[in-house]
Structure 1
Amino acid sequence: MDTVSAVRNRILVLCEKNNITINKLANISGLSPSSLKSILYGKSKNPKIETIKIICDGLGITLGEFFSSPEFDNLEQSIK
């Protein structure tokens, strides 16, 4: 799994856990739905940490909580 896929999966898991839709997450985070969907559908190949922080704020979690998950623990090393 690559980093962009891990970010996507993590957002989807957190939405499911909190029983919210992607549009609701965009709304409570103050992001446009198209910005969030560009991350989720792979158009954004390198989402900014600031954008992820805004998503975390909307979910009421820290960046540490966002990245503390198996998706990120099991990423392959990018530099070989």
Structure 2
Amino acid sequence: MNYGEIYANRIRSLCKKRGISINQLAKMSNVRQSSIDNIVNGRTGNPGVVNLHKIASALNMTLAEFLDFKELNAFSLDDNEDE
């Protein structure tokens, strides 16, 4: 799994857990639908911190909470295929 896939899975998982669609998340976060689609469909391998912050806030999380999960914590940037 690469860096972008980790974020895509995180966003999909949090939306599913909260019962919201990706489209609803875009509206709630004020992040363009195309930007979120690019993240969750793997076209954006390294999402920007501003968009991640907006997404986290829309999900009632701090950015630190959003970024603190097992898959990301275990990921080594040295192993990233996209770099």
- Give the TM-score normalised by structure 1: 0.89
The alpha-carbon deviation at position 18 of structure 1 amounts to 0.7
What residue in structure 2 maps to residue 61 of structure 1?
Answer: 61
- Give the TM-score normalised by structure 2: 0.86
- Give the alignment of 1:39-78 within 5 angstroms: 39-78=39-78
Amino acid in the other structure paired with 1:45 = G
The alpha-carbon deviation at position 73 of structure 1 amounts to 2.0
The alpha-carbon deviation at position 76 of structure 1 amounts to 3.1
Aligned pair count reads 79
Q: Which runs of 5+ in 2 are unaligned?
A: none
Q: Which runs of 5+ in 1 are unaligned?
A: none
Q: Percent sequence identity over matched residues?
A: 33
Measured in 2, the distance between the counterparts of 1:25 and 1:6 equals 18
CA contact (8 A) 1:15 1:22 kept: yes
Measured in 1, the distance between the counterparts of 2:14 and 2:42 equals 18
Measured in 2, the distance between the counterparts of 1:18 and 1:78 equals 33
What residue in structure 2 maps to residue 9 of structure 1?
Answer: 9
The alpha-carbon deviation at position 50 of structure 1 amounts to 0.8
Measured in 1, the distance between the counterparts of 2:65 and 2:34 equals 24
Runs of 4+ in 1 over 2 A off after TM superposition: none
Amino acid in the other structure paired with 1:37 = D
Q: 1:22-43 deviations in whole A, cap 9, x for unaligned?
A: 0000000011211100111111
